[in-house]
Structure formats: C-alpha cells, structure tokens
C-alpha cells in the first residue's frame, strides 16, 4: 500500500505521473468527474488549515466522492486521549483514504504503521508537507514550462518551513537545480536538509542574507511566512518577523519570467502591491493544489493493491535504549511511539519519525 508521508515516498516517476495527471485533469475535468463516486476521504486536521483541507475536500467532491472528518481535534475523541494510531484504526473503517495534518512531527508516519488505508501527510509540524510539494512542482511546471534547470530562492523561515524542506527534497531529483537560501541566522535551513539532502545529492546551494543581491538570478522566488506558532521564545520571533518583505521595488530587480510562489497564508512578507504583477503566482498555486490533490487521490487508489507502487525500502530501524530523540515536538516524545532511529548515508543517527538528532 502506498502512503504519502514524505516526498521521497514517491519515486521521481510517480511524482511526474501525478503532475502529468493533474495537467490532464485541468485540461479535461469532465473525464474525471465521478471517478471516485461512492468513495470516501477522511480529513483529520489537528492543526488549522484553509488551503490544504479545503482543497482536499474540493478535490474529492470534483471526483464525485465524499468527505468526512474533523477540522478541530477538540471536537473529536482525541480530546479524551485517543492516540493517532487508534484514531486511524477507527477512521480506516469509515474511509478509503485519510489526509491528516498534525502539529506533532512524525505523527502521520507513526499512524501509517497501523493504518489499513493510505495516509496522506497534510503537514506535520515543521517537518514535511508533501502535498504542498506536489502543488509547488505543478505550479513551477505551469508557470515556467519546466522544472529542470531552475534557480530557486527560498526566502524567510527556512527553519520551521515544512514546505521548504519537502520541496528541496523533491527538487534534488531534478536536473541542474540551483538553490539559494535567503534567511536570517535564526531561521536557517535545518542541518538534516542541508547535509543529508543538498550535500549528499550534490544539489548546489548557497546561503545569503540580502535578498536584492540574488533577485536577478532567480527563476523562482519561494517566499515563506515567519511562523509565530513554532517559536518557543516570543522575543526571538519579534526580532526576525520582518526580515524579508517582497515589494514592487524588489520585483523590479527580477527576471521578466520569474515566478513568485508562497504556500500561504502570508502575513506581511509579500506586499499586496505585488499581487497584480503577472509573476505573482501564489493564488494560481492555490488552485493547482486542488488539481494535484485530485490526481494524488486517483493515483493512490490506482496503486493501492499494486506491489509495483509500494513504499520505498528502508534499512532496519535502530533501537538503542540510550538514544532519545532531541525534538520535544516529535511523536516519540508525545505518544507511546518507540524511540527508533536510522543511520543516514552520511553516518549520522537521526530519529525515524522526525529526522532530529539524538540526545
Ligand atoms: N499551504 C498550506 O498548507 O496552507 P494551509 O495551512 O491553509 O493549509
């Protein structure tokens, strides 16, 4: 069975198949209406969402299917102490696929270990957001006509920005990608992406602190919000919250064909004066999210019982009673998930669920 927990759960070919199918759905929407009739998608959202949850809902409705679930875990038996594993065991009796968002990192991976239906990670804490990645890839393809060969600047909160982490992973499998990281020191990309993804795959990257310097080089500018809800220290948030603001003057430095992406919501990092610039692709990106999620639902259904489309093979997990995950927001420090670890190709030990270091 195929779950989508991390962008790398899809092969490059599967990723491209989903993007191609999304493009076909856009061109021939009527062909897919009814293709999921009598099927049900459950959306289990333990953390707020507008785009992801509603685009999943809209996608399933366009396909003729039905949607059930919760948008606030306080109204579910989670508030009585039900674990994510028990919750997906139960909801798997009512729906053929589950899209889950959780503020705890690794929650969906842990849930997938017992689920009898495919689990789609709709965002886990600061860790991963693979369906936003599919949205972003489709948007880049539609805006520029290609994904290979782009120079992409990621700007803002690269530390907590799960969409950034997932997109960099996915881009590492495309040709001639060049990454520029634009962030203050406090919000730099985590080591596991920089070292385990960029350095190991050889994707060239450089870190800068002045946006204007790199604007003329970019094919894609990927803006992000500084995520107040992830900070443990409010003073630190106040220090970095206005680090980078995209305005018309900065847009004037960019290529004529650059695309500005943002997973949204935005706060003040893109001024509304940019919205009418033809290069501002972030609202088109939102709509792409619905089409790509339609394609994902169709493909996961098609692949469900096909052994050629299972989960990627992994090494055996490492269990060592002396190891603990250093991340207080990891599932293994919040529910009774086992402390389990993996050795990266660079020889580091990282948490199985959230990629954090051991303590
Ligand atoms: N892009 C995104 O994940 O938006 P929501 O938080 O509104 O779902």
CA 50 to chain centre: 15
Compute, in angstroms, the gap from residue 52 CA to the centroid of ligand 1.
5
d(CA 23, CA 35): 16
Pocket of ligand 1 contains residue 50 by CB under 6 Å: yes
> Does the beta carbon of 52 sit less than 6 angstroms from any atom of ligand 1?
yes
Q: Convert the pLDDT of each residue in 106-116 to its tens digit.
A: 999 999 999 99
The pLDDT, as a whole number, for residue 231 is 64
- Give residue 263 CA to ligand 1 midpoint distance, Å: 7
Distance CA 73, CA 284 (A): 30
> If we measure between CA atoms, which residue out of 242, 283, 281 comes closest to residue 265?
283
CA-CA-CA-CA torsion sign (261, 262, 268, 273): positive
DSSP state of 312: P
**How high is the pLDDT of residue 230?**
67
Strands (E), the chain: 40-45, 66-70, 97-102, 119-124, 151-155, 178-182, 205-208, 220-223, 259-261, 341-343, 349-351
pLDDT under 50 in the chain at which residues? none
Please write the tens of the pLDDT for every residue from 286-328.
999 999 999 999 999 999 989 999 999 999 999 999 999 999 9
- In short, whether 264's Cβ falls inside 6 Å of ligand 1 is yes
Using alpha carbons, list the distances in angstroms from residue 269 to 167, 247, 256, 273: 20, 9, 21, 12
Beta-carbon contacts of 31 under 8 Å, excluding residues fewer than 6 positions away, are: 24, 25
pLDDT value of position 241: 74
Residue 349 to residue 29: CA distance in whole angstroms: 46
d(CA 317, CA 299): 29
User: Does residue 289 line the site of ligand 1, with CB under 6 A?
Assistant: no
Cα angle for residues 134, 139, 144 (degrees, 5° grid): 130
Question: Residue 316's CB: how many other CB atoms inside 10 A?
Answer: 7
């Amino acid at each position: 069975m195929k779950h989508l927990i991390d962008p790398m759960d899809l092969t490059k070919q599967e990723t491209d198949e989903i993007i191609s199918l999304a493009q076909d759905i856009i061109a021939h929407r009527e062909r897919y209406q009814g293709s999921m009739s009598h099927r049900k998608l459950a959306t289990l959202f333990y953390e707020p969402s507008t785009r992801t949850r509603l685009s999943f809902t809209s996608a399933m409705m366009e396909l003729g299917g039905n949607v059930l679930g919760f948008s606030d875990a306080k109204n579910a038996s989670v508030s009585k102490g039900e674990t994510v594993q028990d919750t997906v065991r139960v909801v798997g009796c009512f729906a053929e696929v589950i899209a889950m968002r959780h503020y705890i990192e690794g929650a969906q991976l842990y849930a997938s270990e017992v689920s009898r239906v495919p689990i789609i990670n709709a965002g886990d804490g600061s860790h991963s957001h693979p369906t936003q990645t599919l949205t972003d890839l489709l948007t880049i393809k539609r805006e520029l006509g290609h994904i290979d060969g782009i120079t992409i600047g990621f700007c803002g909160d690269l530390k907590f920005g799960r969409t950034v982490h997932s997109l960099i992973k996915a881009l590492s499998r495309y040709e001639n990608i060049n990454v520029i990281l634009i962030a203050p020191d406090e919000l730099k990309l985590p080591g596991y992406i920089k070292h385990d993804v960029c350095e190991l795959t050889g994707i060239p990257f450089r870190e800068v602190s002045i946006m204007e310097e790199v604007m003329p080089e970019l094919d894609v500018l990927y803006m992000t919000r500084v995520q107040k809800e992830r900070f443990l220290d409010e003073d630190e948030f106040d220090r970095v919250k206005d680090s980078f603001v995209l305005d018309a003057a900065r847009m004037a430095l960019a290529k004529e064909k650059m695309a500005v992406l943002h997973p949204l919501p935005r706060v003040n990092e893109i001024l509304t004066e940019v919205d009418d610039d033809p290069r501002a692709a972030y609202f088109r990106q939102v709509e792409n999210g619905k089409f790509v999620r339609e394609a994902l639902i169709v493909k996961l259904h098609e692949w469900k019982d096909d052994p050629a489309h299972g989960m990627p093979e992994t090494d055996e997990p490492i269990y060592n009673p002396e190891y603990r995950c250093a991340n207080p927001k990891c599932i293994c420090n919040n529910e009774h998930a086992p402390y389990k670890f993996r050795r990266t190709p660079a020889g580091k030990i990282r948490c199985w669920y959230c990629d954090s270091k051991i303590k």
